[in-house]
């Protein structure tokens, strides 16, 4: 129960005979007291390095870390007030699961009854009550992972760090435990940073998500803001499944020309004069990209543009269609079962409010949501 501040935290690993690896690059992050933050990014983007620096198992190359008001980056791990569940579990093989989970409380010389009650509570929460008398080598990877998670959560430390805490669990159990863990973190007001490469998990658990790529923080925002106002092309395509459609565009009279894969104008997006002028001014310095999420395209809209079905996947509760829209490739998601065959035409509505515009060079977002008028056919 404390705030956590990372200030320009950088980590480089020396590499023999090769340039050093820059794993974390000037990371700024403020986690509020009691807040649950997810570090999300693909493998190798620096998530574990970040957690290990907060916990003190890795030194910072530069920058500082504070917990509460106290600088901690020079302290030993045990003096930081941090509990961590490791990616590799790190259980004590000679101890039972019960003693592994209760280890920190035993060492703090808590009353036996309290330890037993808290071990019981956390084991029930994580569905590992039945293995408390067994030893780590005799249980499954998923059970080892939950033991490691229990060992961190039971401490109710000022800061809890969880590295890929549910990666070994089956989807159903993961969904159940996600909700229970969230309740537990909220009930005990635990300031938490967890690492995941699974965006569903990040969205379900986190108050705010820090999206990282190649050691660099891309955006730190609520799940909703990441979806509706992605800061750049990376976040726009990384968050959301299927990913946002990204199309090449260039300014044209009265709006934007959307370019097909061959680089020729495919259709026109009519915009109000001020927006047209603004985007045209921007385009003089560099190219533009247009983004629209597959869920926001209105399949079957009678006033829409005609597109040709390239592929059609029915996923049981929704349909994923790949469409050719006058030379543009577009992935769209329709609720329910769309039975259109390959080669058939379907009309699609492209709501301007769902369109994002990005700077092609820097990738930075320029506009979220254009005018409310519909895109008009060229
Ligand atoms: N101990 C280490 N020595 C050298 N390079 C490392 C070490 N740990 C991590 N790295 C490198 O740092 C980068 C970030 O790794 P890591 O923080 O483990 O990423 P993630 O947890 O997001 O997968 C990767 O390129 C990885 O190979
Ligand atoms: Mg990792």
Q: 13: Cβ below 6 Å to ligand 1? A: yes
Name the closest ligand to CA 23.
Answer: 1
Domain ranges of the chain: 4-229, 245-368
Which residue, judged by its Cα, is nearest atom 12 of ligand 1? 23
Q: 44: Cβ below 6 Å to ligand 1? A: yes
pLDDT in the model for residue 372: 57
Mutate to test the pocket of ligand 1, among 10, 11, 13 (most ligand atoms within 8 A of CB): 13
Report the alpha-carbon distance of residue 296 to residue 200 in Å, rounded.
19
The architecture that CATH gives domain 4-229 is 3-Layer(aba) Sandwich (3.40)
Q: 23: Cβ below 6 Å to ligand 1? A: yes
Tell me the Ramachandran region of residue 121: left when phi exceeds 0, alpha when psi lies from -120 to 50, beta otherwise: alpha
Q: 24: Cβ below 6 Å to ligand 1? A: no
pLDDT in the model for residue 6: 98
Report the alpha-carbon distance of residue 202 to residue 182 in Å, rounded.
11
Report the sign of the C-alpha dihedral through residues 32, 34, 35, 40, in that order.
Answer: positive
Cα 342 to ligand 1 centre (Å): 44
Report the alpha-carbon distance of residue 51 to residue 46 in Å, rounded.
9
pLDDT in the model for residue 285: 83
Of 307, 296, 319, the residue nearest 236 (C-alpha): 296
Cα 13 to ligand 2 centre (Å): 15
The reply to whether domains 4-229 and 245-368 share a CATH topology is no
The architecture that CATH gives domain 245-368 is Beta Barrel (2.40)
CA torsion, ordered 113, 115, 118, 120, to nearest 10 deg: -80
Q: Which parts of the chain have pLDDT scores under 50? A: 376-378
pLDDT in the model for residue 375: 52
């Amino acid at each position: 129960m404390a705030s956590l501040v990372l200030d320009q935290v950088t980590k480089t690993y020396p590499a023999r005979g090769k340039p050093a690896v820059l794993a974390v690059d000037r990371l700024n992050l403020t986690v509020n007291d009691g807040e649950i933050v997810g570090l999300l990014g693909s493998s190798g983007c620096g998530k574990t390095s970040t957690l290990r620096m907060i916990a003190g198992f890795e030194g910072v190359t530069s920058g500082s870390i504070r917990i509460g008001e106290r600088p901690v980056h020079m302290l030993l791990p045990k003096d930081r007030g941090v509990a961590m569940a490791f990616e590799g579990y790190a259980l004590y093989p000679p101890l039972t699961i019960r003693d592994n989970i209760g280890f920190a409380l035993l060492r703090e010389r808590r009353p036996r009854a309290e330890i037993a009650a808290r071990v019981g509570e956390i084991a029930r929460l994580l569905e590992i009550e039945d293995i408390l008398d067994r030893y780590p080598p005799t249980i499954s990877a998923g059970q080892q992972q939950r033991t490691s998670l229990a060992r961190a959560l039971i401490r109710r430390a000022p800061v809890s760090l969880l590295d890929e805490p549910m990666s070994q669990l089956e989807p159903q159990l993961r969904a159940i435990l996600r909700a229970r863990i969230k309740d537990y973190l909220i009930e005990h007001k635990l300031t938490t940073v967890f690492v995941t490469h699974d965006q569903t998990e990040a969205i379900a658990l986190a108050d705010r998500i820090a999206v990282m790529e190649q050691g660099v923080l891309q955006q730190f925002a609520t799940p909703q803001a990441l979806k509706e106002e992605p800061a750049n092309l990376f976040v726009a395509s990384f968050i959301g499944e299927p990913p946002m459609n990204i199309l090449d565009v260039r300014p044209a009279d009265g709006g934007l020309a959307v370019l097909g894969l061959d680089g020729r104008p495919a259709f026109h997006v009519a915009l109000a004069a001020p927006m047209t002028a603004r985007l045209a001014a921007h385009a003089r310095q560099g190219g533009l990209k247009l983004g629209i999420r597959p869920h926001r395209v209105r399949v079957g809209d009678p006033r829409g543009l005609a597109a040709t079905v390239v592929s059609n996947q029915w996923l049981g509760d929704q349909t994923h269609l790949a469409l050719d829209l006058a030379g543009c490739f577009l992935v769209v998601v329709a609720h329910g079962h769309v039975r259109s065959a390959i080669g058939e035409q379907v009309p699609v509505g492209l709501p301007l409010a769902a369109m994002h515009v990005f700077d092609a060079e820097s990738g930075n977002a320029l506009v979220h949501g254009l005018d409310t008028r519909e895109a008009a056919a060229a």
